[in-house]
Structure 1
Amino acid sequence: MTAELVRGQNHPLPETLLEVRVSAGHPVVACAAGADEGGVVRDTWLAHPGAPAVPGVEVPAEATRAPRFAVDLGAVAAAVHRVHLLIALPEGTAGPAHFGATAAPFLAVISSDGAEIASFTITGLDTETAVVALELYRRQGAWKVRAVGQGYPGGLAQLLADHGLDRAREVADLIRSATGRPAPRTEPARLRTTPAATDGARPPGTAQGGPHSGPGTGPGTGPGTGPGTGTGPGAAIPTGGDARNPRAVPAPGDGPEGAAAGPPTVSGGRIDYAHPRRSGPPVPPPAAPAAAPGQPAGPVAGDATGWSMEERLYNQIWGMFEDLARTVAAYRNAVEFAESRLDQELDQALSDPRSRIGGAGDAARAAARAKCEQLTALARQSLDRDLAQLTAESDVVEPALPPAYARWDNPAWHAYRVPMESPMAVRLGDLQLPESPELRIPFLIRLPLERGIWVDSGRAGSEAAIMVDEARMRRLAMDCAVSHAARLLAVHPAGDYTVQVIDPAGTGAASLTPLVRSGALAEPPATGAQGVTATLARLTQRVDLVTMAMRAGAPDALPPDLDTSEQLLIVNDFPHGFDDRAVTQLRYLADEGPQVGVHLLLVADREDASAYGPVLDPLWRSLLRITPVPDDHLADPWVRHSWTYQPPLVPAGSEVLRHVLDQVTAARRSWGH
């Protein structure tokens, strides 16, 4: 049976040799773009009329009304994790100016025996002249097809630039010149199975599973390759801090700002996450256990590529994150379509005078409602199938997570030992959607932090916050900050991370007890105006010295007594106890500190700072806002759902913080830090 896909829906592919047929009603240019696990397209993975074949994909050498993609997924380079099938209107012709002026394009995925596997009608286009129609992607050792339908009014140049291609305009001009030349008419080519290119050859035994970081970078993502994000996977986290506006989370491979990590610069550049000892291709994911005949393979922890189990788990989690975002988007689109169709049919029944005679009208309305219920039930059935698969995967992945990624109730913390190396990411909580509240996706943020964190102690952000009294909310916010600080200390080698606290009125003393009692703080919490001034002056001076040394290329010129470990500054009850000078210094630390290892963890109610007016708006926008109670203020970088954030609170009565912080302090003392 053919699967009629809606935008965002995916469907498994039963085989790797396929043909994708397009019906557009007017000439279109067909292209195929391969993307790596970060969602970035390379020109060597791009098939277009000027270069119609790459390993695994072949496209027509001219613009045509019914182009066909010949696809052999078994021949796609191992480094390619997704293949985007693109269609565009040829430039400089007498045809339609944009897709909105023509009939909706229709695509059908055909198996090698001629059976139709899935189809997709791209509706809702307007001024777009280039479209990402379908996406073929690896998932858990198999390939799937996803209906995308993301259009670009700027044509192929904008589309390719959005997917990270450096020479997007140049390639778009090449495609335009190629389609402008007369080409011989030929039958649609059947793909020749060719070996993968040398630079992306699949190592023996490599499973074809892996993460996929959809559109626009997210994470991401961060980290672009999908609808609506605009800059490649893991689209940038909007820098605002308004409690009422969703904020996109970063996508994999990106820092919290969402741009792909690149080589470090002298000042203000991205952090290079490349491991200095990584010289070969990433380790392939483990093979899935053998399944019963006719049954799909079961999920495997670490079912993604990476140089280590930690990195494979990180990539797998982002794959689960994207899968959940897209399958819920498909469900919501299908329900919306069913309801809009019901409204149209009811309006039609009411407008027809014949339906008002006898029971014809009632029968028409009953039939319309039955059809709507049937479509909604089918959409829910598909959603439940995908949720069951993701839940099974989560049940396997969660117990296998290392401490940096694990919840506080994970047994991994019982066997905790101070690490010798820093992790690539840390868990800041969980994310969930209302369609499946029991399925939680770990909220992972890359390290080192590229922006500060704001734990919102206000009560105006969500229903959960309104139900908590003001004093309790402030205590929960500080508990949350201490939990994050303890985790950051625990996942770094002894002495590589230092925590300092500013608590002007001493209101956070109870929450700070675990840090103070264990001796994990560099010094007692700073209180009063004098303590605020001294701490900020010391950290500001450190940022100045390290920044100047890095810009001058002379790190050896730093004072020998300067603490070069990464610094985390917890500020409680901001802006209480802060004068104008202190506020300026804090903004400076938030802007410049992350580049030289000084990070901010702010516990504050934005309304308390209203007396400063808009002067603090840049500060709020520069921080990643999280909450001590569940709140749906975060958005994914693919379809921008509002996700409910669940804070990583320590279970009541648990001694895990004491156990972990005692080990951190003991290791620091024994190693002479």
Structure 2
Amino acid sequence: MTAELVRGQNHPLPVTRVEIRVSAGRPVIAGATLNDAEGRTRDAGWVAHPAAPNLPGLEVSRQAAAVHRLAVDLGALPEEAHRVNVLLALPEGEGGPSGFGALAAPFLAVTDLVGGEIATYTVTGLESESAVVALELYRREHAWKVRAVGQGYAGGLAAMLGDQDLPDARLLADAINEAVAEGTARSVARPPERNGRREDGRREDGRRGDRDDAASAPASSAPGGPIDYRHPRRKAEPPPPRRESDPSQPRPQSHPGPIRAVQSPSGGPRSPQPQSAQPQPSPAPQSQPQQAPQPVAGDAPGWSAEERLYNQVWGMFEDLARTVAAYRSAVDFADSRRDRELEKVLDDPRTRFGQGADAARTTAMERYTQLAEKAQAVLDRDVEQLTAESEVVEPALPPAFARWDNPVWQAYQPPAEQPMALRVGDLSLPECPELRIPMLVRLPLDRGLWIDSGRESGGEGPAFADPDELRRLAAQTATALAARIMAVHPAGDFSLHVIDPAGSAATALAPLVESGALREPPAVGAEGVARVLERLTRRVDLVQMAVRSGATDALPDDLDVSDQLLVVHDFPHGFDDRAVTQLRYLADEGPSVGVSLMMVADRQEASGYGPVLDPLWRSLLRLSPVPDDHLADPWVGHSWTYEPPLAPYGSQVVPQVLRRIVAARQSDGR
């Protein structure tokens, strides 16, 4: 059954060789880019476009046209390629509409080699955009999926290529448009369609016709033997068994699919096979659809196990964001369709009452139920797969990525080097609250943390009647995060400072003080605040000057050059104007030289300082001591429920970890 995708929805690909058909209302440019695991296009050699239509595993049209057929062999792509973006753009300098909004919505279909549609997508919602990333084929768990993207760019090809971090995107965009305009990228015209088909692939009666034989696609004649479609570093799929006595089974052909130029093991392009004058039907052997592969921890690109797990967690995060976006879009569509059908019944006095009206209402509700149930089934399938992956990944996480209740903390020893990231909590969505995605932030902390000890007006999270309880939870969250940050650094290579002007966080800070992890007591009063801030601003100044002048060896011997974390409780109590200025300076300049900031504050209480603190608040990552839905993902902008990384009630894991840090520090004589 064909999957009709909406924006953000994905669907598994049962085969690795596919064809992507494009139908547009006027001639458009069609191309494709390869992306690595970070979503970047390395260089122009990873872009297939009319001026350079062939890449290993990719072939696109040589000219702008209203109808395109793009061939993709996922098994022949470079191993570093993890995504294929299908691009559409309006040619420049040919007049006509300046954006896709003035055209009929482009239609794309992903088919197998015998024309069976796997997924379709109509790119709607475009206006002034003259370029669009329509589809994305991406690799997950050794399998490939297709996702409807529909991301438009008013800046055209240059903006779209630049968004994929392509160097010299403007130059490549100009070269593509010039090639299309001058006709240097045009190929031989397609032969006339047969069997009553028009150029757009539809029959004269308007119905979509069957796919033409793959071998009938135009190809330039050149000497050479049959094309080898096998990836040089991968095993070829064995063909399905065939019985000679079965006339329904096709005989093997030398031309298995539409990709006619792939890279040889030596790096050069292989010679295309001469096209037969009388092409015969030759459907390629296909692998049968398989069940979703069993999830494996660390099954993501990366140089180390830590990096692979980090990338896998972010892949799960993105998949869940887009899956829920597709579900919400499908439900919204079902709602709007039901409302339109019901309004149509009510608007016509002849159908407003009687059996006909009841039947129309029943039909509208049945259609709504069918669409909603289909959307729910797809969501349940994807959530089930992600839940299974989470159950495998969570126990395998290293301490920096693990929850406090993970057994890995019981065998904790201070690391030899700083990890690449840190877990600062969990994220979930209301459609699947039981599925929690680790919230990982990169180290060192380029952005400080703000633990919200108050409730802003208009906040959507749960409101606490007792502000003292919220402050207590905020202080506990800050202590748990400070202990976690200290635990992931090598013993002796990290220093912690705490400012608690009124001493109100003494109970929450007890694990840090009693274990000896905090080298000196928390600073209290105005004098203590001024002393700590003066010391840290001096360190930032000296290190910055030494780095800029290349004289790091000239730093004073008494200067602590290890990474630092400053935890500030109950801001702005105990802070004068000079202290506020120093705090802003540390937030802006400290991360570049290893000084990070964590604030526990109620923004409403700090409103007396006026807009002077607005840049400080914007520079910090706001976290909540209670579950709260204030964080948004970078892909579709969902509001995610954040849950702080507190240890289980009654657990002694945090004091135990802190004692081991102190013991390791003492054994090193630091």
The match for 2:273 is none
Distance apart, 1:392 and its partner CA: 0.4
1:460/1:466 contact within 8 Å kept: no
SS of the aligned residue for 1:481 comes to helix
**1:631 pairs with 2:628:** yes
Task: Determine the C-alpha separation between the residues in 2 that align with 1:463 and 1:151.
Answer: 31
Among 647, 652, 663, the alignment partner of 1:655 is 652
Partner letter of residue 394 of structure 1?
S
Task: Determine the C-alpha separation between the residues in 2 that align with 1:293 and 1:395.
Answer: 25
**1:351 pairs with 2:352:** no
Distance apart, 1:331 and its partner CA: 0.3
SS of the aligned residue for 1:572 comes to strand
The match for 1:417 is 413
2:456/2:604 contact within 8 Å kept: no
CA offsets per residue over residues 20-78 of structure 1, 9 Å max, x none?
00011210100101111111112211001111111111111100110111100011111
2:56/2:77 contact within 8 Å kept: yes
Distance apart, 1:97 and its partner CA: 2.1
SS of the aligned residue for 1:31 comes to strand
The match for 1:156 is 157
The match for 2:13 is 13
Task: Determine the C-alpha separation between the residues in 1 that align with 2:26 and 2:468.
Answer: 65
Q: Name structure 1 gaps, 5 residues minimum.
A: 206-291
1:498/1:567 contact within 8 Å kept: yes
**1:560 pairs with 2:542:** no
CA offsets per residue over residues 629-649 of structure 1, 9 Å max, x none?
011111000001000000001
Partner letter of residue 391 of structure 2?
D
Distance apart, 1:349 and its partner CA: 2.0
Alignment of 1:47-446 (within 5 A): 47-182=48-183, 183-187=186-190, 188=217, 294-356=290-352, 358-446=354-442
Partner letter of residue 352 of structure 1?
D
The match for 2:639 is 642
Q: Name structure 2 gaps, 5 residues minimum.
A: 191-216, 221-226, 237-287
Give the TM-score normalised by the residue count of structure 2.
Answer: 0.85
CA offsets per residue over residues 476-526 of structure 1, 9 Å max, x none?
101100101101111111011110111111111111100000100121111
Task: Determine the C-alpha separation between the residues in 2 that align with 1:294 and 1:62.
Answer: 37
**1:538 pairs with 2:535:** yes
Partner letter of residue 380 of structure 2?
D
CA offsets per residue over residues 277-327 of structure 1, 9 Å max, x none?
xxxxxxxxxxxxxxx995332111111011111111100000000000000
CA offsets per residue over residues 596-617 of structure 1, 9 Å max, x none?
0011010000011111111111
Change (3 A) 1:406 1:204: farther
1:458/1:465 contact within 8 Å kept: no
Task: Determine the C-alpha separation between the residues in 2 that align with 1:76 and 1:573.
Answer: 55
Partner letter of residue 501 of structure 1?
V
Distance apart, 1:353 and its partner CA: 3.9
1:479/1:511 contact within 8 Å kept: yes
SS of the aligned residue for 1:356 comes to coil
Rg larger in 1 or in 2? 2
1:354/1:360 contact within 8 Å kept: no
Task: Determine the C-alpha separation between the residues in 1 that align with 2:124 and 2:376.
Answer: 22
Distance apart, 1:672 and its partner CA: 1.2
Change (3 A) 1:88 1:300: same
| Segment drifting more, 37-46 vs 507-516 | 37-46
Partner letter of residue 44 of structure 1?
G
Partner letter of residue 344 of structure 1?
R
**1:451 pairs with 2:447:** yes
Partner letter of residue 11 of structure 1?
H
RMSD (Å), alpha carbons:
1.8
The match for 1:30 is 30
Task: Determine the C-alpha separation between the residues in 1 that align with 2:353 and 2:345.
Answer: 11
Among 581, 593, 597, the alignment partner of 1:596 is 593
Change (3 A) 1:610 1:354: same
Distance apart, 1:347 and its partner CA: 2.0
Distance apart, 1:463 and its partner CA: 5.4
The match for 1:39 is 39
CA offsets per residue over residues 231-279 of structure 1, 9 Å max, x none?
xxxxxxxxxxxxxxxxxxxxxxxxxxxxxxxxxxxxxxxxxxxxxxxxx
Give the TM-score normalised by the residue count of structure 1.
Answer: 0.84
Partner letter of residue 359 of structure 2?
A
Task: Determine the C-alpha separation between the residues in 2 that align with 1:10 and 1:189.
Answer: 31
Change (3 A) 1:359 1:490: same
CA offsets per residue over residues 403-459 of structure 1, 9 Å max, x none?
100000111111111111111100000000000000000000000110111001002
- Structure number with higher relative contact order (C-alpha < 8 Å, ≥ 6 residues apart): 1
Distance apart, 1:186 and its partner CA: 3.9
2:14/2:290 contact within 8 Å kept: no
Task: Determine the C-alpha separation between the residues in 2 that align with 1:76 and 1:150.
Answer: 24
Change (3 A) 1:668 1:102: same
1:49/1:175 contact within 8 Å kept: yes
The match for 2:548 is 551
The match for 1:587 is 584
2:10/2:145 contact within 8 Å kept: yes
Task: Determine the C-alpha separation between the residues in 1 that align with 2:68 and 2:114.
Answer: 19
Task: Determine the C-alpha separation between the residues in 2 that align with 1:53 and 1:659.
Answer: 59
Alignment of 1:445-484 (within 5 A): 445-460=441-456, 462=459, 464-484=461-481
2:32/2:48 contact within 8 Å kept: yes
Task: Determine the C-alpha separation between the residues in 1 that align with 2:289 and 2:625.
Answer: 47
SS of the aligned residue for 1:149 comes to strand
1:56/1:193 contact within 8 Å kept: no
2:15/2:289 contact within 8 Å kept: no
1:58/1:189 contact within 8 Å kept: no
Task: Determine the C-alpha separation between the residues in 2 that align with 1:561 and 1:654.
Answer: 38
CA offsets per residue over residues 145-177 of structure 1, 9 Å max, x none?
000011111111111111111211111101100
CA offsets per residue over residues 58-102 of structure 1, 9 Å max, x none?
111100110111100011111111010001111111333211111
1:79/1:202 contact within 8 Å kept: no
The match for 1:216 is none
2:14/2:289 contact within 8 Å kept: no
**1:488 pairs with 2:485:** yes
SS of the aligned residue for 2:45 comes to strand
The match for 1:213 is none
The match for 1:276 is none
SS of the aligned residue for 2:66 comes to coil
Distance apart, 1:358 and its partner CA: 3.3
Partner letter of residue 19 of structure 1?
E
The match for 2:201 is none
1:459/1:468 contact within 8 Å kept: no
Partner letter of residue 326 of structure 2?
A
Change (3 A) 1:637 1:204: farther
Change (3 A) 1:357 1:490: closer
| Segment drifting more, 312-321 vs 86-95 | 86-95
Partner letter of residue 159 of structure 1?
M
Task: Determine the C-alpha separation between the residues in 2 that align with 1:174 and 1:19.
Answer: 26
Task: Determine the C-alpha separation between the residues in 2 that align with 1:66 and 1:296.
Answer: 33
Task: Determine the C-alpha separation between the residues in 1 that align with 2:307 and 2:84.
Answer: 22
